[in-house]
Chains A and B, each alone.
Chain A
């Protein structure tokens, strides 16, 4: 169980550019839930994920994981049990390292990074088996630098790397937004498969309302730092993309854009 309790977050406090993004923001995510998050630009989706991962601090409030407050925990400590994929495909992988080296370094997460060999040759076949189902031909390119791959290939690899080790949470921030529609579809299906296989609690921010309706066990809509819509699995099943689109357009109009 992940709980955000009375989170308050101001950007640029004390300056003329002060933005009060969250005021007493609350969210509960149960174990094994797959939450899709939609919302207008600037509604605070990325900020919320950053707060969960410790990438930014909060002014007040609590973040509880299974009842334990982790607000003071450093980002890198928190992320030991979190897998994260970003919108920018270059953030989830190391461009200057090969696919094999990337997977090796990712698989070592949670273990010491000591003076043993970085690549375990005995694992190469296992990595190939993980890459093969992606159908992107990556299994034959283990020795090439990730920087030379396409955005879709990198994002698929990033998703794989984020979920290679046991994690409690998977955090996805518009991870298909930078891809062409066909690749986005492939990555989305891969995401769904990974979440089902690993039974990992997932929060997925998406710009694609259809994905939000089709995938996941819960749907949240955010606006101006608040959750304005929260649909459980059954409610969500009765919902279609047009209805969500209608609500989404309404808040956008209210907002004046």
Chain B
């Protein structure tokens, strides 16, 4: 049961990250490695605000989002204005953020066990009936993830969101519409990394600590979630792609948990992750053409 809950919690937390990766990878066609830095960036902001500064925990959510958005904006500016290749722009930001994250958090490991957070505070305790207290994390994470998903769905239907979809689809048309396509890409990268940092913010509060290494491989988790989600529900029209991405993230976490449960050494888990990722990619690519000839 505890394992099941933990899979759900982590799956949905990383689901928010996957929403961000969905924007860059699927919509903008931009392999954004900034994620490995912006995920811990959100976490670092959070522990600093809760631990160091003693600020209310709810403030961390908008703060992390805005911080992440600024980081994404920098990646976008490096790519668009300085004309650095997409992959390299992300790598530069990711590398630089490592130091910035340490600097914000103070050290590579910061615990906030004794502090109130979005899951553990007097408001939640007063509002939630006692029989649900065991599920408070999963409920709150569910609500935040749902809100993030619906906000993104809403944004995608606005005029600005239409441009974002258009720039990934066919950037020539964005220029024809009299809009600077570079600006649209920067906006997309900002929203994406805002979501990623928000994910890191919730992760730090669920884990009740910050660890500098949590960013390593974050982009892989996001990519795997997006690919699992979008390929499983490729044909399903009743489910929105944002929902499928979040479900993909939960499934991915379930696979990893299963591997751990099966007794695979914690040190070997990265290798398992890589193998799993490869497997998903191979399964999800349409190979009808190959069979045909």
State whether A93 and B176 are in contact (beta carbons under 8 Å apart), knowing that A113-B159, A115-B158, A119-B157 are contacts in the complex. Answer: no
Collect the chain A residues with CB atoms within 8 Å of residue B172's CB: 86, 91
Q: In the complex, A79→B180 CA distance in Å?
A: 11
Q: In the complex, A55→B158 CA distance in Å?
A: 28
* Closest partner residue, chain A, to B160 (CB atom): A113
- Are A76 and B180 in touch, CB under 8 angstroms? yes
State whether A115 and B170 are in contact (beta carbons under 8 Å apart), knowing that A76-B178, A77-B178, A97-B165 are contacts in the complex. Answer: no
Q: In the complex, A83→B175 CA distance in Å?
A: 11
Main secondary structure of the interface of A (DSSP, over half): loop
Task: Judge whether B264 is part of the interface by a CB distance below 8 angstroms.
Answer: no
Which of A33-41, A101-109, A195-203, A220-228 forms part of the interface with chain B?
A101-109
- Are A84 and B165 in touch, CB under 8 angstroms? no
Collect the chain A residues with CB atoms within 8 Å of residue B166's CB: 94, 97, 105
Main secondary structure of the interface of B (DSSP, over half): helix
User: Of the candidates B155, B169, B178, which one forms a contact with A97 in the assembled complex, judged by CB atoms under 8 Å apart?
Assistant: B169
**Shortest Cβ distance from B150 into chain A, in angstroms?**
15
**Shortest Cβ distance from B183 into chain A, in angstroms?**
9
- Are B159 and A114 in touch, CB under 8 angstroms? yes
Collect the chain B residues with CB atoms within 8 Å of residue A115's CB: 155, 158-160
Interface residues on B, range: 20 to 34
- Are B173 and A91 in touch, CB under 8 angstroms? yes
User: Of the candidates A55, A91, A117, A162, which one forms a contact with B159 in the assembled complex, judged by CB atoms under 8 Å apart?
Assistant: A117
* Closest partner residue, chain B, to A171 (CB atom): B176
Task: Judge whether B217 is part of the interface by a CB distance below 8 angstroms.
Answer: no
Q: In the complex, A83→B161 CA distance in Å?
A: 22
Task: Judge whether A13 is part of the interface by a CB distance below 8 angstroms.
Answer: no
* Closest partner residue, chain A, to B167 (CB atom): A94
Task: Judge whether B181 is part of the interface by a CB distance below 8 angstroms.
Answer: yes
Per the 8 Å Cβ criterion, residues 170-194 of B in contact with A are: 170, 172-181
Q: In the complex, A79→B174 CA distance in Å?
A: 10
- Are A79 and B169 in touch, CB under 8 angstroms? no
User: Of the candidates B162, B168, B175, B181, which one forms a contact with A105 in the assembled complex, judged by CB atoms under 8 Å apart?
Assistant: B162
- Are A108 and B159 in touch, CB under 8 angstroms? yes
- Are A79 and B165 in touch, CB under 8 angstroms? no
- Are A110 and B178 in touch, CB under 8 angstroms? yes
Task: Judge whether A137 is part of the interface by a CB distance below 8 angstroms.
Answer: no
- Are A114 and B160 in touch, CB under 8 angstroms? yes
Q: In the complex, A90→B170 CA distance in Å?
A: 8
User: Of the candidates A84, A92, A97, which one forms a contact with B162 in the assembled complex, judged by CB atoms under 8 Å apart?
Assistant: A97
Collect the chain A residues with CB atoms within 8 Å of residue B174's CB: 76
- Are A118 and B178 in touch, CB under 8 angstroms? no
Q: In the complex, A86→B173 CA distance in Å?
A: 11
* Closest partner residue, chain B, to A108 (CB atom): B159
Collect the chain B residues with CB atoms within 8 Å of residue A114's CB: 158-160
- Are B160 and A74 in touch, CB under 8 angstroms? no
Most chain B beta carbons < 10 A, residue from A80, A94, A97, A101: A94
Task: Judge whether B17 is part of the interface by a CB distance below 8 angstroms.
Answer: no
State whether A96 and B165 are in contact (beta carbons under 8 Å apart), knowing that A76-B180, A77-B178, A79-B178 are contacts in the complex. Answer: yes
Task: Judge whether A95 is part of the interface by a CB distance below 8 angstroms.
Answer: yes
Task: Judge whether B21 is part of the interface by a CB distance below 8 angstroms.
Answer: no
Task: Judge whether A75 is part of the interface by a CB distance below 8 angstroms.
Answer: yes
Collect the chain A residues with CB atoms within 8 Å of residue B177's CB: 76, 79, 105-106, 108-109, 113
**Shortest Cβ distance from B54 into chain A, in angstroms?**
34
Collect the chain A residues with CB atoms within 8 Å of residue B179's CB: 76, 113
**Shortest Cβ distance from B176 into chain A, in angstroms?**
5
Q: In the complex, A76→B175 CA distance in Å?
A: 5
- Are B158 and A95 in touch, CB under 8 angstroms? no
4 smallest CB-CB distances across A and B, nearest first, come from: A80-B178, A118-B162, A94-B169, A113-B159
